[in-house]
Amino acid sequence: MVQLNNGITLFFSLLVEAMPFLLLGVIFSSVLLLFVDEQKLLALMPRNVLLAALAGGLIGFLFPVCECGNIPVARRLLMKGAPTAVAIGFLLAAPTVNPIVFWATWIAFRDQPEIVFLRVGFTLVVAMAVALIFSAQADMRPFLQDNLARMMGDPAAPPAATGLQGGSPSPAEDEAISPLLRSGTFLMQSPGQVLQLDAPPAQVLAQVTGAPPPLRLRFRMMVDNMVLETRELGAVLILGSAIAAFVQVAIPREVILSLGQGPVTSILAMMALAWVVSICSTVDAFFALSFASVFTSGSLLAFLVFGPMIDLKNISLLLTVFKGRAIIYLFLLAAQLTFLLTLVMNLYVG
Amino acid sequence: MTSSIRSRRRPLPSPRRVSLPWQAIIDGLMLLLWAAMLLRFTVTGQIYLLLHPDYMWLSHMAMVLTFGMGMGRMWQVWQVVRLQQRQGGPRSQEHIALLPRRVSTGLLLAVAVFGLIYTPRPFTSETALQRGITEVLSQTRSRPQRFVLSGASEDRTIVDWIRTLNVYPEPEAYAGQAVNVSGFVTHMPGWPDNLFMITRFVLTCCAADAYPVGLPVELPPGTPRPAPDTWLEVTGRMTTQTLDNKRQLVIGEAALTEIPQPRTPYEY
């Protein structure tokens, strides 16, 4: 009974803490959707894959949201046709590489500035590496949830991919997935172009280029979109928080803590803890600080770098974008890279 | 521009007498309930059981945002009803990837209603034992660069004592100092009957990272040991004892006063 009460209290604690960031993310995402011309933003993205990945990571400075908030934005970027490198770079780096998180980490680790800067550095390295690996896949859609992939429309050769591969997908591939073969209500536009009427309003809006609707309508659509995303992502956040709360109650913390003081085990333990606790990147620095006296610097960094990328709570959010297989790849790549980097830090620096 | 309707997933809704945008109404209700839940946590002070006070403005902001969105939704509903149009919210089932719309709406509604009924409880001695009460002399978690101690030793809270000990861990240095702390009772396994731990949870950000700290208390002969989870104010003098094969600071000559559970049971 006590355990149940603790679990429920933890559950509400996580929810109340994460909900504001989720709402901020949803608001940023909706504003971005209707008031920022992403085509222009994306057109500014460098063509080189490496630079595109870096740029994707740095977009976080425009959208200071944590990992519960950046997934709607990443989803939006993908829908608007962002190159894979930009989207993955943003997804992995944005929760950490943004002013609010930098500030929070600085407050927490003022006396260990190397942690603050290495956190940003390692995150960018891992995000760029994973983004490069995913860019090798010309068409992302097999990795994405079906309805998102459908919304992405034709995979015109992603500008970033051409830099690396120098070739565009054959026209036959494009033809094979003509929008006319999909179900739904369509309006014929200029030859070869259709407008899907029963897509979400914002999506329809995005397809109608050249005629921005009046401000009042855009505002209404923004509210619609905010409510819609709050409903979807909020429900998923509830499930994730429930799982995180009950796992935390069920596994004694000492089991995780006793795993390690050593250079290897401490990193593994902190990564496991980051995964279980699912704490928001904006406040996780303070949480990590509470382990500062017990754990190696490398393992604290592992917590701070890996936690915001993938944890128990946001796996359910990631499932709104990616299929399970892609999430497993993301998870494994991010975990291995974080582990290697922080192990080097433990063995040679710390 | 030519327009041709190729296919239709389902027939258009047949005109009905009453055409209320139920979807939008439920959305608005859900958001307003969330705002109400957050308002309730704030007004009843239960938010102190969930969050560190530094982050409470975030939940206040969430309350304002959900309220605003809910009201915006309801205003749209009012517009629609007034104009007798049938265009509530975006009807976009396809948008939803993981959960059907009804499931997600239901979950959010259920949690909001549950949050309006449920009273969060502060953590108890059982959790303190499970999480491992921070040993006075070993692992202290938070290491503030500076913390101000008021001159008198009896003004220190349990956390102040732990932090002081972390800076200068020699127990003998504190022997004889007056102590006045409050917390709840935890019975440590293996301790004799005249000893218990006076305990507090410390939050760094939210209940998810609450960790317990405590000081051992030695009861005068003949005093019965208080039940676990009783909230007490303990006054006494610091002595040293060997507990668990380690020399430790112990509150001796303890006088116990039972107190009600404080409004903010955690320390920060």
The predicted structure's pLDDT at residue A165: 39
Cα separation of A131 and A45, whole Å?
14
Buried/exposed code over A115-144 (b: 16+ C-beta within 10 A; e: otherwise): bbebbbebbbbbbbbbbbbbbeebbbbebb
Indicate whether A140 pLDDT > 80.
no
Query: In the 8-state DSSP scheme, what is residue B51?
Result: B
Q: With the C-alpha atoms ordered B122, B179, B159, B150, is the resulting torsion angle positive or negative?
A: positive
Scanning the structure block, which residue is given the tokens 């949803």? A26
The predicted structure's pLDDT at residue A75: 80
Confidence of residue A5 (pLDDT cuts 50, 70, 90): confident
Spatial CA neighbour of B33 closest among B83, B105, B94: B105
The predicted structure's pLDDT at residue B35: 94
Cα separation of B153 and B174, whole Å?
9
Q: Measure A115 CA to nearest chain B CA, in Å.
A: 16
Confidence of residue A323 (pLDDT cuts 50, 70, 90): confident
Scanning the structure block, which residue is given the tokens 């002595």? B239
Are A322 and A330 in contact, with CB atoms under 8 Å apart? yes
Q: Measure A232 CA to nearest chain B CA, in Å.
A: 6
Are A329 and A80 in contact, with CB atoms under 8 Å apart? no
A292 CB near a chain B CB, below 8 Å? Answer: yes
DSSP secondary structure string, A165-195? Answer: H-----HHHHHHT-GGGS-S-EEE-STT-EE
The predicted structure's pLDDT at residue B89: 45
Of A147, A187, A201, the CB nearest to B94: A147
Q: Measure B103 CA to nearest chain A CA, in Å.
A: 8
- Chain B residue with minimum CA distance to A198: B92
By residue count, chain B amounts to 268
Spatial CA neighbour of B213 closest among B223, B203, B228: B203
Scanning the structure block, which residue is given the tokens 């998810």? B208
pLDDT, tens digit (0-9, with 9 covering 90-100), for B168-182: 778 888 888 888 999
Q: What is the mean pLDDT of residues A308-332?
A: 84
Indicate whether B137 pLDDT > 50.
no
Report ipTM (2 d.p.). Answer: 0.80
From chain A residues 170-189, the ones with a CB under 8 A of any chain B CB are 180, 183-189
DSSP secondary structure string, A132-165? Answer: HHHHTSS--GGGB-HHHHHHT---PPPHHHHHHH
Are A153 and A91 in contact, with CB atoms under 8 Å apart? no
CA atoms within 13 A on the CB side of B58: 24
More confidently predicted of A318 and A110 = A318
Beta strands in chain A (DSSP E): 186-188, 194-196
The predicted structure's pLDDT at residue B175: 83
DSSP secondary structure string, A306-339? Answer: HHHHS-HHHHHHHTTTB-HHHHHHHHHHHHHHHH
Indicate whether B32 pLDDT > 70.
yes
Are A236 and A320 in contact, with CB atoms under 8 Å apart? yes
User: Which helix or strand (DSSP H or E) is residue B146 part of?
Assistant: none
Q: What is the mean pLDDT of residues B19-40?
A: 89
Q: With the C-alpha atoms ordered A243, A246, A250, A254, is the resulting torsion angle positive or negative?
A: positive
Beta bridge partners of B251: B217, B238
Are A156 and A81 in contact, with CB atoms under 8 Å apart? yes
The predicted structure's pLDDT at residue A184: 56
Longest Cα–Cα distance of chain B, Å, equals: 96
Contact B111 A21 (CB under 8 A): no
Are A223 and B31 in contact, with CB atoms under 8 Å apart? no
More confidently predicted of B102 and A248 = B102
Contact A16 B7 (CB under 8 A): no
Are A148 and B97 in contact, with CB atoms under 8 Å apart? yes
Q: Which two tokens stand for residue B48?
A: 């102190």
- φ, ψ at A140 (rounded to 5°): -75, -15
Are A21 and B51 in contact, with CB atoms under 8 Å apart? no
A211 CB near a chain B CB, below 8 Å? Answer: no
Average pLDDT across chain A, whole number? 74
The predicted structure's pLDDT at residue B91: 45
User: Which chain B positions have a beta carbon within 8 Å of A187's beta carbon?
Assistant: 1, 3-5
More confidently predicted of A156 and B30 = B30
User: Which chain A positions have a beta carbon within 8 Å of B66's beta carbon?
Assistant: 23, 230
The predicted structure's pLDDT at residue A173: 40
Of A12, A236, A290, the CB nearest to B50: A12
Q: Which two tokens stand for residue A141?
A: 């859609």
User: Which chain B positions have a beta carbon within 8 Å of A18's beta carbon?
Assistant: none
Spatial CA neighbour of A9 closest among B65, B209, B197, B229: B209
Q: How far is CA A212 from CA A181, A205, A209, A267, B208, in A?
A: 28, 8, 7, 51, 45
Q: Encode B178-237 in three state secondary structure.
A: EEEEEEEEECCCCCCCCEEEEEEEECCCEHHHCEEEEEEEECCCCCCCCCCCCEEEEEEE
Q: Measure A165 CA to nearest chain B CA, in Å.
A: 31
Residue at B255: amino acid letter: A
pLDDT, tens digit (0-9, with 9 covering 90-100), for A202-231: 555 555 544 556 777 777 778 887 888 788
Are A19 and B61 in contact, with CB atoms under 8 Å apart? no
